Chains A and B, each alone.
Chain A
């Protein structure tokens, strides 16, 4: 079953604009990860945020996590045509020892950046 749900399902913007994607999940987590997938290819890990963190940055990416609302957001600033891809959030429910072993993915947001 899919725990995460991304919103919106599809997003189309112009190059240079910012893109914001949201993810909601249902159960408590150890960490939440965002991945990018280009059409028909494998997933690329973008960023991992632990449950005790509220915000993380990596280059043009900014991720926030609100565990009280069970939600996360991914912001891509100054988007480029090469950012066109599907973006997935994935939750790691964890266990008493820390990281669990499996990720539960949402259905993804399809981002199209028009040149």
Chain B
């Protein structure tokens, strides 16, 4: 399967714990995005990488959130000191952008439940 993959698919944690999610994009894609989606809403942009550089972080991404893409390939999203409000589906997407409009390809998501 050459699509975007995300692990784990589900994560249940207790409030205050740290969690880390992984995203493996489509191999030749230079852009990688993280979105968050809550029930009944569309995805909301969190952050974006061009190769290994993180170029923008949404105001939704508090200091408890950190994302990396160390070698311009896979990416991790860490949430420290989780809160119940962090419960959501976290979606990763990638695209091959060369200045023209490019579709984003999404992974299946990681569903986080904070108890």
**Could you tell me which A residues sit within 8 Å of B by CB distance?**
2, 4, 30-31, 33, 35, 40-45, 48, 50, 88, 90, 92, 94, 97-99, 101-108
Tell me the minimal C-beta distance from B3 to chain A in angstroms: 9
Expressed in whole angstroms, the Cα–Cα distance for A92 and B99 within the complex equals: 13
Please, which residues of chain A bring their CB within 8 A of the CB of B33? 101-103
- Known pairs A33-B104, A40-B89 / 5 extra A-B pairs, C-beta < 8 Å: A31-B101, A42-B108, A43-B43, A102-B33, A103-B43
**Could you tell me which B residues sit within 8 Å of A by CB distance?**
4, 31, 33, 40-45, 48, 50, 55-56, 89, 91, 93, 97, 99-109, 111
Contacts A/B (CB < 8 Å), 27 sampled: A2-B42, A2-B44, A4-B42, A31-B101, A35-B106, A40-B89, A41-B108, A41-B109, A42-B106, A43-B43, A43-B91, A44-B106, A45-B106, A48-B101, A92-B101, A97-B99, A98-B99, A99-B99, A101-B97, A102-B33, A102-B56, A103-B45, A105-B43, A105-B44, A106-B42, A107-B40, A107-B42
Whether the Cβ atoms of B103 and A48 lie closer than 8 Å is yes
Whether the Cβ atoms of B101 and A30 lie closer than 8 Å is yes
Contacts A30-B101, A102-B48 known; A90 to B42 CB distance under 8 Å? yes
Output the nearest chain B residue to A9 by Cβ-Cβ distance.
B40
Tell me the minimal C-beta distance from B98 to chain A in angstroms: 9
Tell me the minimal C-beta distance from A107 to chain B in angstroms: 5
Please, which residues of chain B bring their CB within 8 A of the CB of A42? 4, 91, 106-109
Whether the Cβ atoms of A105 and B101 lie closer than 8 Å is no
Whether the Cβ atoms of B44 and A45 lie closer than 8 Å is no
Please, which residues of chain A bring their CB within 8 A of the CB of B93? 43
Whether the Cβ atoms of B101 and A98 lie closer than 8 Å is yes
